[in-house]
Structure formats: C-alpha cells, structure tokens
C-alpha cells in the first residue's frame, strides 16, 4: 500500500464505511460464511481478503463450496465465482448436518428486529405468527447456528426503532440469553450510525460514524442503550480501501442495494442489470 | 436399459392432489420452472400441495399465487437480491398459506432421518429460540448419555421431487451443476423423481449426480430453468424477475400466469 493509499479518505459513503467496518472484524485465516443476498458483507469480506486477511476462505451459500478466489460483486454473474472457482463443493444437507459446527465460520447476519440482549428476529413482524404484519422470507440456518456459535456478527444497514426494539416478536437468533448452553451471543454490530458490542449482556455503543451524535443513536434505538466510557468517531476508511471497493471489488455498486429502499433500490437494480448485460455481450 | 423419457405433459400427471412436491435447485439457480409452468397449464391442476424446498423462489411463488399450495416447508422463501417473493408474502400475511417453519437443520436432519429409516434425528439446533413455539409438532428428547435436551427433528416425506439437470440420459442418470442445494438427498427420499434436463442423451457414463435407478421420469426441457439460471448454460434473467415483482405488486399475477400457461 502506498503512503497516499494509507491516508484516511475524506470522500466516502455510508455503505463504504460499513463495508470497511465489516472488513476490520475479519482476521487472517478465518472461514467467512457468505449468506444469501448480503452484498455489503461480501464487499467487506473481499476487502479484508485483499488487504490484511489474504488467507481468508469463503464458505458460499451459492454452490455450498469453499472458495479462496474472489470476483467483483454481481447479481447475475455470481456463479462464475462460486461454481467456477470453488475448491470443493458439497450438498447443503452435508453443510448443515456435518460441517457447520466443525468449520465454525464467522458470519454476519442482518436482523429484522433485535433487542438489547442481542436476540434477533428474521421470521415475521407482529405478535400473531398466523397473521403477521409482515412475513419475512425465513430464517435459513440462524436458529441452528446462533445457539452454539461464538462467531456471530451483525449488521443493520438502516438503524431505526423498528429494528432496535425492547422485545423482538420472535427469537429466531439467540443472543446473550439465559437459556444459552454454548457459544457467546453476538459479539459485534455495525449499523449506518455506529459500532456496538455487548457488555454485561447488553448492547453497547462503542463508536459513532462521522457526523452522528450519541443522542441521535439513542433516539433511533428502541431500548436503553449502554454507552462505552470513551465513545470516539469510527476511524475513516483509507483511500486505498475506498479505491478497492469502488474500482475492483464492487464497481457496479451492488453493496448499495442494502442501504437503499423502494424506488431508489429498484432503479439501482435496473442499472446494475443493464451493466451486467453489457458485460455479458462483451465476454 | 429402461427408457424413462416422458413428455412434460405426461410427467406432471405424477403430481396428485395433497402430495408433497419437492422442487430442486437453490435460490434463483437451476429451479424446475418449465415443470411448474406445465403443472399450471393443466385444466385441473393438483391442489392442497405441500411444497418442500430447501429454499423457495420464483418457481414456488407461482404455485402459491395460483392457489395450489396448502403448506410450505422451506427455510427461505424469497427472491434473493430481488427481495420478497410477492405472492408468498401476500398469502402468508393473510394466513392463506400454512407455513411449516423450517431451518437448514430441520430440513437436513429431517431428510437424514428419512434416509436412516428412523422417526427423528437429534440436534442442538433451535434450543433456546422460539422455533419450538412456531413448530409445536416438533418435540424434544433427552440424550440418554448426557441428559442434555435436544430437538428431535421428524423425518421428512416427499411424494414427488423435481430436479432440473444440465443433461440426463434416457434411463434417468442426470448431471447437475455444482450448486447442488439438497438435490441428491431430496431425490433419494422422494417416492418418485422427475428430472427435467437441458439436454437428453442416450447414455451418460460419468459424472452423474443422480443415478437413474432413483428416477421415475426424464423430460427434455431446454431452457427449463428460465428465468432462474442454469450455470454454465445461462444466467438468471434479472429483468424478468423485476417484471414479475412489478406485475404482482400491481395485482396482475393472474395475467402474468395466463401469458405463460395459456388461457386458463
């Protein structure tokens, strides 16, 4: 990395800062589980692998493989990496029944609701399960892994009182819960407002992102948030990290699908698909 | 060698009302869409189906939207980066489809139990979460050696499994790609297995993922996974998926269905 590249960047966006925060949580040599439709996490993982964690392995949901290689983020071309460049593949039955405990991958989950203890919900919003206010796609392997994992990390692209709630409607991801028999509950959470850990079983603010006040985070959190003694600003990304994200890891901006909603998200999706179609024609 | 080649129209008659229908592939990849279109083309398609998928996507959303599904069994029902599966989400919000909540472990161990010929497989999954409240039919057992409470995932049954293959031979031997999902196990537990394939050849001699002995029917279905992908032959058709979501959001699912399945 050049001297200029290691300088802090002035010009960065929230999705880029979150990807960098995710990358900083990765240690070299780890196995990193890629979830389904989590491009912000994928951007952070690849950034880590391209910088300080060159021996990281990826465990993929697409293709159920182990991958050392990487490719720019994509919607329609993801299989070129996950199927074309994997070291090995198994079926999902083998992953779920035989391998997840042994491999103990680090994984970033995105809760739809989370409480102060780090219990989270991804099944449905509303107190009636039969007639929910909003049925969510489903919990995949979260209720299986969260009960024993010590490698559970979380991210919330849009911090709000709808997500950070006093009590989740359903616990589908086990937090720092009295019934826990193994593992640790979530260790870390990054949102678009700050970074958090768990202290004495309670979620605790540790850094605020640039331009965000502690008061604003408390106002957007639906429970009594613990605050670390010396809350500082989240360190800015380096210029080289931003260059890698924009030019090499995610030139199409797929990561931003996680921070946008509604029409803006649809427009970005269309733009990405058009650019990928152009790439297909060129190949 | 037994010839198991059938037309799509013949193959869909294997699915009977009330059946558990297992659909292969994963997320938006290698899903048996042509089979689903054909099923929906039937004048009197089978209803009260239990839909069994590792993850359910576009192909399953069509079946829910058409009202053929009584119950879903999957650990994820959605369109990945494209968001919610519109017809499933609507039906689930309104209580019009019964969701039997599954996770990766409940599906994996449920399949393993069936394969082992036992009623359940024990696991540490779910303990402490609300999943046991969402699935009151799932019981726990005490480990006779340690006294630990474990979840006893019940064996899963499947009447007809449908898997889309890159290539199959007339005897049913089929080659998938490396995005297996749970296809090998799903095909093994199913009473009947339909393979739809991009290409059908006389005889495959290597690299077979599904041996023909477990396959009931082979169907030639070129581009049979569209608009989901069939790597390396074609990638997923994102603009079609966007269009589908938009049409459903505008309340025009029936028109969409009619356009693909003829004037039903």
Mean pLDDT of residues grouped by 10 in chain A (283 residues)?
81 97 97 91 97 95 90 93 89 93 94 98 96 97 96 97 98 97 96 98 98 98 97 98 98 96 94 92 70
Residue A180: inside a domain, yes or no? yes
CA distance A276 to B62: 26
pLDDT of residue B263: 52
Burial readout A8-20 (b: 16 or more C-beta within 10 A, e: otherwise) = ebeebbbbbbbbb
Residue A238: inside a domain, yes or no? yes
Of B130, B182, B231, the CB nearest to A170: B130
Residue A8: inside a domain, yes or no? no
Using one digit for the tens of pLDDT, what is the confidence trace for B42-81? 999 999 999 999 999 999 999 999 999 999 999 999 999 9
Of B108, B133, B178, the CB nearest to A63: B178
pLDDT of residue A80: 87
> Taking the alpha carbons of B237, B243, B248, B253 in that order, is the dihedral positive or negative?
negative
Among A266, A272, A76, smallest CA distance to B246 is for: A266
A135 touches chain B (CB under 8 A): yes
Residue A141: inside a domain, yes or no? yes
pTM for the model: 0.97
Of A140, A147, A180, the CB nearest to B76: A140
pLDDT of residue A149: 95
Bridge partners, A114 (sequence order): A120, A164
Confidence band of B101 (pLDDT split at 50, 70, 90): very high
Say if residue B95's pLDDT is above 50.
Answer: yes
Confidence band of B264 (pLDDT split at 50, 70, 90): very low
Say if residue B115's pLDDT is above 50.
Answer: yes
Number of structural domains, chain A?
A: 1
Residue A7: inside a domain, yes or no? no
Residue A5: inside a domain, yes or no? no
B257 or A84: whose pLDDT is higher?
Answer: B257
CA distance A15 to A12: 8
Stretch(es) of chain B classified as CATH 3.40.1080.10: 5-112+155-261
Say if residue B213's pLDDT is above 90.
Answer: yes
**Residue-number span of the structural domain to which A265 is assigned:** 14-282
**Domain B5-112+155-261 annotated CATH 3.40.1080.10:** yes
- The interface pTM score, or ipTM, of the predicted complex is 0.96
pLDDT of residue B262: 76
Task: Test B178 with A95 for CB contact under 8 angstroms.
Answer: no
Judged by CB atoms within 8 Å, which residues 264-283 of A form the interface with B?
266, 269-270, 273, 276, 280
- The first and second tokens of residue A215, run together, are 């008061």
Among B242, B183, B147, B205, smallest CA distance to A94 is for: B183
């Amino acid at each position: 990395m050049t001297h200029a590249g290691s300088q802090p960047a002035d010009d960065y966006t929230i999705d880029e800062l979150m990807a960098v925060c995710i990358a900083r949580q990765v240690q070299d040599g780890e196995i990193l589980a890629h979830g389904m439709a989590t491009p912000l996490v994928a951007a952070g993982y690849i950034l880590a692998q391209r910088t300080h964690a060159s021996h990281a392995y990826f465990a993929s949901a697409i293709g159920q493989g182990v991958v050392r290689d990487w490719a720019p983020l994509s919607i329609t071309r993801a299989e070129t990496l996950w199927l074309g460049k994997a070291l090995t593949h198994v079926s999902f039955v083998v992953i779920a029944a035989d391998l997840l405990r042994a491999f103990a991958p680090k994984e970033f989950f995105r809760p739809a609701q989370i409480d102060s203890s780090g219990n989270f919900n991804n099944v449905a919003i509303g107190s009636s399960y039969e007639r929910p206010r909003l049925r969510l796609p489903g919990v995949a392997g979260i209720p299986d892994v969260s009960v024993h994992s010590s490698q559970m990390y979380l991210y919330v692209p849009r911090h709000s009182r709808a997500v950070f709630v006093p009590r989740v409607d359903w616990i589908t991801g086990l937090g720092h819960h009295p019934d826990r028999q193994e593992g640790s509950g979530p260790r870390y959470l990054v949102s678009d407002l700050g970074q958090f850990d768990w202290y004495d079983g309670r979620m605790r603010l540790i850094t605020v992102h640039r331009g965000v006040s502690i008061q604003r985070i408390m106002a957007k959190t639906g429970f009594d948030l613990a605050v670390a003694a010396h809350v500082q600003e989240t360190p800015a990304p380096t210029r080289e990290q931003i260059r890698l994200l924009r030019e090499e890891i995610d030139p199409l901006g797929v990561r931003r699908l996680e921070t946008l909603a509604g029409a803006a998200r649809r427009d970005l999706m269309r733009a990405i698909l058009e650019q990928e179609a152009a790439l297909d024609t060129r190949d | 060698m037994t010839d198991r080649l059938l037309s799509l129209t013949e193959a869909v008659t294997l699915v009977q009302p009330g059946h558990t229908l297992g659909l292969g592939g994963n997320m938006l990849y290698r899903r048996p869409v042509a089979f689903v279109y054909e099923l929906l083309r039937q004048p009197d398609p089978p209803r009260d189906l239990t839909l069994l998928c590792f993850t359910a996507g576009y192909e399953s959303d069509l079946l829910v939207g058409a009202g053929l599904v009584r119950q879903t069994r999957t650990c994820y029902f959605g369109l990945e980066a494209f968001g919610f599966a519109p017809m499933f989400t609507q039906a689930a919000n309104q209580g019009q489809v019964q969701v039997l909540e599954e996770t990766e472990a409940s599906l994996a161990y449920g399949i393993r139990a069936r394969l082992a010929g036992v009623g359940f497989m024990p696991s540490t999954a779910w303990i402490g979460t609300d999943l046991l409240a969402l699935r009151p039919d799932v019981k726990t057992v005490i480990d006779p050696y340690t006294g630990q409470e474990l979840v006893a995932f019940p064996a899963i049954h499947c009447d007809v499994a449908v898997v889309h293959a890159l290539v199959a031979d007339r005897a049913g031997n089929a080659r998938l790609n490396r995005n297996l999902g749970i296809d090998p196990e799903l095909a093994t537990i199913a009473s009947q297995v339909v393979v739809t394939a991009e290409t059908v050849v006389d005889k495959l001699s290597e690299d077979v993922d599904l041996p023909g002995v477990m396959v009931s029917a082979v169907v030639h279905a070129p581009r049979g996974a569209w608009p989901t992908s069939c790597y390396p032959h074609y990638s997923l058709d994102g603009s079609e998926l966007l269009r589908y979501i938009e049409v459903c959001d505008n309340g025009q699912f029936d028109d969409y269905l009619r356009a693909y399945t003829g004037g039903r």
